[in-house]
Amino acid sequence: MDSAPLIRDEEIFLRMNLAERVQHWVLISSFLLLILTGLPLFFYDVRFFQLLLPSGQSFYVRGIVHRIAAVVMIANVIAHLLYTALTRRGRDNFKEMLPRWQDVKDAVGLFGYNIGLSRFLNKRGIGAKFFKRHPYWLFERHPLYGRYNFVEKFEYWALGWGTFVMIFSGFFMWNVELSLRFFPLWVHDIFIIVHGYEAILAFLAVIIWHMYNVHLNPEVFPMSKVWLNGKISGKELRLLHPLEYEKILEERRKILSAEAL
């Protein structure tokens, strides 16, 4: 055993570099603005929105702000795509972000572990044979994640898909005359419906899924500070991203043994 561990608990790792944090900040602000200026159209009867937009002029400004925020978000998407394609770190992140079969197993595994039904049944001797042959279904341990777990991957790809849908439908809503030069009115109506309901889905997903995972989750409560300083400690790495921790550890061991030779 080494007297000094290869990864100390206090060591600082950069989980989000400045470029990634800026992308996230721009995303947060444009997303919030879009939600705030878009939801009134969906919930036109809600008093809050009527107070927020008390006049025809304010409603007009709402439209302008919505479009500006949309342009900012699109620019952010382009910046992110360029960053992902052109930088080493971006490409590495992207590879880590690709969904794998293991992610599905992790999701099921976490839920099964949290519920604890299999363990309960096994303890009572129910289905003991099955569990012996397929220990995975016993969900005895918390799944171990790499750099990005299934929660983060789901968020990333849902956001990607949602952004594409919103930009596509929103573009044609912005340019009604252009849209109706290509599509009949009933197709344009679909754009409107899709834009509205995709927004609701995104809004709910963010306030439920993302807010739980980065704020309410007892692991990080009251808030994970990664989005502010981008830093994660060696301890957090070991607990939250054990596979990545192992990987770094392995790399360092190799370097160490190479030096020793």
Partner 1 sequence: MVYPGVHKENPAVEKINRTTTGRILLAFLSAALSVFLGAAPAAQSDEDCLACHGDKDLKSETGKRLFVDQAEFQVTIHGQGGLSCVDCHADLRKVADFPHNSPLKPAACKDCHEAAVQQFARSIHQAANERGTSGISIGCKDCHGTHAIKPSDDFDSSTFAINLPATCEKCHLEKVPSKKGAGFIGGYNLSAHFKALEKSGLTMSANCGHCHGAHDIKGVGDPLSSVSRKNIIKTCGTCHVGIQRGYLEGVHGIDYVKGIKDVPVCTDCHSEHNIISPEDINSTVYATKVAQVCANCHDDMALSRQYGFLTSRLRTYNESFHGTAARFGETRVANCASCHGFHDIRASSDPKSSIFKANLPATCGQCHPGASRHFAEGLIHSAPDQVQTAKYGTAHVVKEVYIFIIAAIIAVMVVFIAADFLRRVLRKEKHG
Residue number, 6 or 144, with CB nearest to partner 1: 144
Q: Is 64 in the site for partner 1 (CB under 8 A)?
A: no
Cα(82)–Cα(215) distance, integer angstroms: 29
State the minimum distance, in angstroms, from the CB of residue 246 to partner 1.
23
**Stretch touching partner 1 by CB under 8 A, among 69-77, 80-88, 114-122, 231-239:** 114-122
Residue 114 makes contact with partner 1 by CB under 8 A: yes
Which helix (H) or strand (E) is 233 found in, with range?
strand 231-233
- Among 25-33, 112-120, 128-136, 246-254, the segment contacting partner 1 (CB under 8 A): 112-120
Q: Which among 64-72, 107-115, 119-127, 248-256 is the span making contact with partner 1, rule CB under 8 A?
A: 107-115
Closest CB to partner 1 among 190 and 228?
190
- 109: contact with partner 1 by CB under 8 A: no
CB of 91 vs partner 1, minimal distance in Å:
30
Binding segment (CB under 8 A) for partner 1, from list 19-27, 52-60, 119-127, 229-237: 52-60
Tell me the closest approach of the beta carbon of residue 212 to partner 1, in angstroms.
5
- Cα 153–chain centre separation: 6
| Helices 185-205 and 150-174, packing angle to 10 deg | 150
Binding mask 165-204 for partner 1 (x = CB under 8 A): -----------xx--xxxxxxxxxxx-xxx--xx-xx--x
Give the residue ranges of DSSP H helices in the chain: 18-42, 47-52, 56-86, 88-97, 101-115, 117-123, 128-133, 150-174, 176-182, 185-205, 211, 226-229, 234-240, 242-260
120 touching partner 1, by CB under 8 A = no
What DSSP letter does each residue of 84-152 carry, written as one string?
HHHSHHHHHHHHHHS--HHHHHHHHHHHHHHH-HHHHHHHTTTTHHHHHH-GGGG--SPPP--SS-HHH
Residue 120 to residues 36, 70, 127, 136, Cα–Cα distance (Å)? 46, 50, 11, 15
Contact residues toward partner 1 (CB under 8 A) are 40-41, 44, 50, 53-56, 58-60, 62, 110-111, 113-116, 176-177, 180-190, 192-194, 197-198, 200-201, 204-205, 208-209, 212, 216-219
